[in-house]
Chain A
Amino acid sequence: MPKYGVPTDPDYNERLAEFEARIQRGEKIEPGDWMPEEYRRQLIRMISQHAHSEVVGMLPEGAWITRAPTLKRKMILVAKVQDEAGHGQYLYHAAETLGISREAMLEALLAGKAKYSSIFNYPTLTWADIGTIGWLVDGAAIKNQTMLAACSYGPYSRAMVRICAEETFHHKQGKEMVLLYAKGTPKQRQMAQDAINRWWWPALMMMGPHDKDSPNTEVLVRWGIKTKTNDQVRQEFINEHAPEILEAGLTLPDPDLRYDEQTGNWLHGPINWEEFWQVVSGNGPMNKERLEARRRAHAEGAWVREALEAYAAKQQKTVVAV
């Protein structure tokens, strides 16, 4: 039997103390080890959301594969979209080790019950958005994922180490693309600026609500699932990206943005959380389209699954016949 402890267990407090001591010592918790049921629940929630985000994240970019301006850019984008699919697989694998089936997670996504990153509910209007997604959206994702690579749960940590190694390519190709546009024709500069204007705030929202409004943060940090808070990760992201964007001769859509000499931080103005919660609750510009595209892909892929099953059944028969 899996050992997921609940507070009503007679030995819960004792086991919890051992468990927390293991995390304090920097040990990884592996499938088969005792863990609080709440630790398991939080991990399934986070990992499946992550997996769904990777899968849905293919949609805004996939639409641009046929419209990439050069063969090189097309190959880069194909590889990037393929990576997102792979990242989804790594993460579903990590979640499965906690006793939830991949099928159940996919059903929750297709039924619209599962959450995924709100950022993918925004439209990609021009080619410059593809570069900006690489630079800002993947940049924000890497900050989060680098933190999660230190996670106390072994399978999640390993998925994240693997993902970060591949994600850095996404970040760099995006940055290169935007910097080239920033040095390009007036029209290209304008496209890059428009894309930055549209993606900057959603990218900051990707790290989630402020710490004071994030009820899960305390327990997540205590159990080593997260090793930094939402606001810490957001600050790291701004400190890295704000000066780079400004150096490229582009501006940021935040009149309050300023560098604080004392702390060395770039301070941002108020974030529109009302917009964030609207998008999270399904009212973003693209929520319906994204889910519809996902359902269509699943339905239209049915014949592939049937063909693979038929082939497998035939192989089985051949083996028996021999």
Chain B
Amino acid sequence: MDTQWPRWEVFKQDTPSKPHQAVGSVHAADPEHALLTARNVFARRPQAVSMWVVRADDIFSWTKEELLEANLTHITQPQTTNHKPQAFAVFRKTSHKRSMTFVDYVGEVEARSPEEALKKAQATFTDAEALAWWLVPTAKIVKSDPSQETIESWFAPAKDKTYKQQQYYATVGSHVSKFKVGRGVEDEE
């Protein structure tokens, strides 16, 4: 039997100049709990200045493959009954390169349905090919407090813990390259 708490997708912003990026998920009983858990799981290292959480059920997603097939039948979320236009946050993935994050926040569109939001997003954000889209009604996004005080108390403590960084131990022993074939032990470290 499934008795688990709702799943919340977590978006982390590393610095004010970078976009919020999807980093993973947490299970939590309420939005406040989701934000706290997100911080504890995803900001144990620098950098972070802001976090957003969204119930997984409130996210509308399409991969490039799904769009090519125009097969949107997997969307099981209830359609919005309110047909007034609302704002959707648009997230997009543009690269197959190795990364820690999935989709990046690129902006907002106004639309009456997720499908319309997708069409507008495709027409608006054309600077790169989209490998995946996530669309989220902005009203459903729960954000960490943007005040400087909260940013300090939530995200600064990780910065002081230099022993958590591998660079802190950089000069331990010999580097493995010293032992590679064809190199004498006299080589530089």
Contact = CB atoms under 8 A, between A and B. Distances in A.
B2 A165 contact: no
A263 to B, nearest CB: 8
B3 interface: yes
Interface stretch (B27-35, B79-87, B147-155): B27-35
B155 to A, nearest CB: 15
B165 A169 contact: yes
A47 interface: no
Interface stretch (B96-104, B108-116, B119-127, B136-144): B96-104
Contacts of A104: 2
B145 to A, nearest CB: 17
Interface string A18-51: 0000000011101111100000000000000000
A211 B63 CA distance: 35
B50 interface: no
A179 B66 CA distance: 53
A248 B173 contact: yes
Given A82-B44, A161-B100, A169-B164, A244 B33 contact: no
A251 interface: no
B98 A161 contact: yes
A136 to B, nearest CB: 14
B48 to A, nearest CB: 13
B100 A33 contact: no
A198 B131 CA distance: 48
Contacts of B102: 154-155, 158
Most buried by B among A2, A169, A248: A169
Main secondary structure of the interface of A (DSSP, over half): helix
A159 B99 CA distance: 9
Contact of B176 (A30, A244, A248): A244
A157 B93 CA distance: 15
Contact of A86 (B4, B44, B100): B44
B173 A308 contact: no
A166 B180 CA distance: 25
B31 to A, nearest CB: 8
Contacts, number: 134
A84 B87 CA distance: 38
B169 A169 contact: yes
Contacts of A308: 28-30, 33
A30 B132 contact: yes
Contacts of B93: 30
Interface string A71-105: 01001100100110010011001001000011110
A96 B100 contact: no
A264 interface: yes
Most buried by A among B26, B42, B100: B100
B65 A244 contact: no
A311 B73 contact: no
Given A75-B161, A93-B24, A179 B41 contact: no
Contacts of B13: none
Given A166-B45, A244-B173, A26 B96 contact: yes
A34 B23 CA distance: 23
B2 A101 contact: yes
A137 interface: no
A175 B169 CA distance: 9
B15 interface: no
B131 A162 contact: no
Interface string A232-254: 00000001100110011000000
Nearest to B76: A1
20 contacts: A26-B96, A32-B132, A33-B66, A79-B163, A90-B41, A96-B7, A96-B25, A103-B2, A158-B24, A161-B98, A161-B99, A175-B173, A179-B172, A247-B174, A264-B180, A264-B181, A264-B182, A308-B30, A311-B29, A316-B30
Given A33-B66, A247-B173, A264-B181, 18 more contacts: A28-B96, A34-B65, A86-B41, A103-B3, A162-B23, A162-B24, A166-B45, A171-B166, A172-B168, A173-B169, A175-B173, A239-B179, A243-B179, A247-B179, A264-B182, A308-B30, A311-B33, A316-B30
Interface of A: 1-3, 26-28, 30-34, 72, 75-76, 79, 82-83, 86, 89-90, 93, 96, 101-104, 149-150, 154-155, 157-159, 161-162, 165-166, 168-169, 171-173, 175-176, 179, 239-240, 243-244, 247-248, 264, 308-309, 311-312, 315-316
